[in-house]
Amino acid sequence: MTIRNKVLVVEDEPQIRSLIQIAMARTGHATSEAGTAHEALERLRKDQPDVVVLDLGLPDRDGLELVPIIKRNTSAALIVLSAREASEEKVAALDLGADDYITKPFDTDELLARVRVALRNRSARGSGDPVVNVGDVSIDLPERKITKGGREVHLTRREFAVLSQLAKFPGRVITHQQIMAQVWPNEAERHVEYLRVLVRALRQKLETDPQRPQVIGNEMGIGYRLKMDSNPAA
Answer with the one of 127, 162, 196 that is the final residue of a domain: 127
The answer for residues whose C-beta is within 8 angstroms of residue 139's C-beta and 6 or more apart is: 131, 132, 133, 146, 163, 164, 167
Do 17 and 117 have their domain in common? yes
- CATH of residue 74's domain is 3.40.50.2300
Do 43 and 91 have their domain in common? yes
Answer with the one of 66, 100, 127 that is the final residue of a domain: 127
The verdict on residue 24 lying in a domain is: yes
Do 29 and 118 have their domain in common? yes
The verdict on residue 177 lying in a domain is: yes
What was the pLDDT predicted at 1?
Answer: 41
The verdict on residue 193 lying in a domain is: yes
Do 153 and 107 have their domain in common? no
Residue 46 burial (CB count, 10 A): 10
pLDDT in tens, 150-184: 999 999 999 999 999 999 888 888 999 999 999 99
Our count of domains for the chain comes to 2
Q: Averaged over 2-31, what is the pLDDT?
A: 91
Answer with the one of 75, 92, 127 that is the final residue of a domain: 127
- CATH of residue 164's domain is 1.10.10.10
Do 149 and 167 have their domain in common? yes
Do 105 and 196 have their domain in common? no
Q: Averaged over 189-199, what is the pLDDT?
A: 92
Short-list 46, 34, 41, CA closest to 67: 41
Do 122 and 145 have their domain in common? no
The verdict on residue 21 lying in a domain is: yes
The verdict on residue 202 lying in a domain is: yes
- 188 versus 229: the higher-pLDDT residue is 188
Segments forming the whole domain that contains residue 93:
6-127
Do 73 and 111 have their domain in common? yes
What was the pLDDT predicted at 51?
Answer: 96
Write out the chain in H/E/C secondary structure.
CCCCCEEEEECCCHHHHHHHHHHHHHCCCEEEEECCHHHHHHHHHHHCCCEEEEECECCCCEHHHHHHHHHHHCCCEEEEEEECCCHHHHHHHHHCCCCEEEEECCCHHHHHHHHHHHHHHHHHHHHCCCEEEECCEEEECCCCEEEECCEEECCCHHHHHHHHHHHHCCCCCEEHHHHHHHHCCCHHHCCHHHHHHHHHHHHHHHCCCCCCCCCEEEECCCEEEECHHHCCCC
Do 183 and 199 have their domain in common? yes
Do 121 and 135 have their domain in common? no
Q: Is 14 exposed, middle or buried (0-12, 13-18, 19+ CB in 10 A)?
A: exposed
The verdict on residue 42 lying in a domain is: yes
pTM of the model as a whole: 0.75
Short-list 126, 146, 151, CA closest to 134: 146
Do 141 and 173 have their domain in common? yes
The verdict on residue 209 lying in a domain is: yes
> Cis ω on the peptide bond leading into residue 105 (within 30° of 0)?
yes
Do 117 and 159 have their domain in common? no
Q: Is the pLDDT of residue 209 over 90?
A: yes
pLDDT in tens, 84-131: 666 788 889 998 989 999 988 899 999 998 898 888 877 665 555 578
The verdict on residue 1 lying in a domain is: no
